[in-house]
A and B are shown apart, each in its own frame.
Chain A
Amino acid sequence: MSSGITILDPTNEATPATRQLLERPESVKGLTVGLLDISKPRGNVFLDRFEELLVDHGAKVLRFAKPTFTKPAPVDLRHEIATQCHVVIEALAD
């Protein structure tokens, strides 16, 4: 029993949806891998090398870029990636 003070919830009271992660693929061979460049300077240098390695492992690579690293990826871009790729690699670089 509570008989202490009662206050109003300052948060958004939202319950985040929980989603099951997909199974991790055994291999990237034959998969389409999306590489999302967040548009930080020199991120492309890292991603170029990464693309080489993925292609060596038999993957097809598609490159995507956010318009600016300071804002979330636009909905259309997220949709494009989701419909064209089996796997996406997105990482924050700094």
Chain B
Amino acid sequence: MITSLPALPDGFVVIVKEECATCQMVEPVLATLAAGPIPLTVYTQDNPDFPAHLSPIHDADLSVSWHHNIDTVPTLIVVKDGKEVQRTFGWSRDDWQKLTRVADLGAELPVMRPGCGSMSVDPDLVDALRAKFTDSPVIAREVSFASAEDEFEAMYARGWTDGLPVIPPTRERVLRMLAGTNRAPQDVVAVCPPNLVELTVEKIAINAVMAGCLPEYMPWVITALEAVCNDEFNMHGVLATTMPVGPVIVCNGPGTRAIGMNSGINTFGQGNRANNTIGRAVQLVIRNVGGGRPGEVDRATQGNPGKISFCFAEDELGSPFTSLATARGVVSGADAVTVFAGEGPRCVVDQLARTPEELANSFAACLQTVHHPKLVIGFDAILVVSPDHGRVFAQAGWGRDRLITEIMEKTMTSGRDLVRGAHGMAEGIPPHLIDATLPKFRPGGLLLAYAGGGAGLFSSIIAGWANGAIGSDPVTRTVTY
């Protein structure tokens, strides 16, 4: 592995490739320099004989270009005592004349012409070059498959997948993934349940590759894992419970738009890479690093399809409400992740309500059914209001707090209707609460988010799991880059 900086010879050094029209254009300039008193060394990236008659050195493995951070060809570097003194790239007559101190250099050429991309930054080559030339900080065990082995089948057979195919985490891909975060590969992000294993950035990157993430999703995956791997969220219990919950990840901040998350049409559904792979990466880490697998520590009676991935962004730009993250104490405009132990979304239909009171009544009635209409306080929920429903509140001037307060009041129910046995249902609250009047949710137990496509008078409820110290509390963390 070549990880040292190949020294450049003193004088002028120019890196070119024949494929680049600007490099071809400066050929006469190079000939002029070659005839001058200061030595000229030309490195060529493609054709070993270009430019003819100037004895170019073929940078066949691109090690010179890689180590000297050549982004553009041609690049002219002035080297003195083995050290780079100055450089310019592309063709700028002024710059080339200034650096070479040849007053009329390229007088016949246009004033400037941009160069072309260096082969060392070619997207098709850069990952292999990074793996080859950087002193790899990655220490994970290598697993080699036999030539006749299908790697996709082999990874499934080893129990490393969620049942869907995964991208093979080659060293090249993992290094590319690691470029998405400033954190060092061996940084320990959390202690990962259920096996309480130290979780490194590197192991997250490997699983993020498998999930299909892009490198720019890494900070979100890391933050979501920090948010679930603690006693407050209680990922161990979320796994072990027989209830159908998994980590639901709600993303906030301008970064959600920068990485192309979907907060609009079909926001909970298929089709968006960031939404689907961030949630999937979190679950693959819990499975592969933490050791949390269905049928083992994961005892879910029925589970839910969101346990493959359930991650979405709030539509903050369209929302009439303050964002979920802001409501949970994050500075406005910061990127943040909120994790919630939840089941799949269920739809609330109300196509007739035109007043906020009517719509809040519908929300309250539907929210009352979370897990069981006669069970209260013990489970949280997220209400995800759609744009068509949100408009009703916006027009009436109802903000987040007003809507939550109204819904909480509308869910107040007499203990007589909730106690065990009432209405012919054995399930319910203990008999000593018969004289109480109770809301559906504990204070702070109803979370509000805003997302969805621009048409459809439908919102969604994501029901939670046992809340508080006996179960899970939602956790919000700002994204660390």
Contact = CB atoms under 8 A, between A and B. Distances in A.
Given A4-B146, A68-B471, A94 B195 contact: no
Interface string A46-90: 000000000000000000000111111000000000000000000
Contacts, number: 98
Given A3-B147, A70-B240, A8 B169 contact: yes
Nearest to B159: A11
B210 A10 contact: yes
Which among A10, A68, A92 has the highest number of chain B CB atoms within 10 Å? A10
B141 A8 contact: yes
B237 interface: yes
Interface of A: 1-14, 67-72, 92, 94
Contact of A11 (B144, B240, B241, B289): B289
B119 interface: no
Contacts of B284: 10
A14 B197 contact: yes
B327 to A, nearest CB: 26
B441 to A, nearest CB: 19
Contacts of A4: 144-149, 151
A60 B206 CA distance: 51
Contacts of B290: 12
Contacts of B147: 2-4
Contacts of B149: 2, 4
Interface in B378-410: none
A11 B160 contact: yes
A7 B290 CA distance: 19
B46 to A, nearest CB: 28
Contact of B291 (A6, A12, A70): A12
B142 A8 contact: yes
Contacts of B442: none
Contacts of A12: 192, 195, 197, 203, 288-291
18 contacts: A1-B146, A2-B145, A4-B149, A6-B145, A7-B143, A8-B140, A8-B143, A8-B171, A8-B174, A8-B206, A10-B140, A10-B288, A11-B160, A11-B291, A12-B289, A12-B290, A68-B237, A70-B234
Nearest to B204: A10
B168 interface: yes
Given A2-B146, A12-B290, 18 more contacts: A2-B149, A4-B146, A4-B149, A5-B151, A5-B168, A6-B144, A7-B155, A8-B138, A8-B142, A8-B143, A8-B169, A8-B171, A10-B210, A11-B289, A12-B288, A14-B197, A68-B471, A94-B299
B170 A68 contact: no
Nearest to B430: A41
A73 to B, nearest CB: 11
A10 B169 CA distance: 8
B207 interface: yes
Contacts of B160: 10-11
A1 B145 CA distance: 9
Contact of B289 (A2, A7, A10, A69): A10
Contacts of B469: 67-68
Given A11-B160, A12-B291, A13-B141, A70 B470 contact: yes
Contact of A68 (B148, B195, B470): B470
B295 to A, nearest CB: 14
B3 interface: no
A9 B151 contact: no
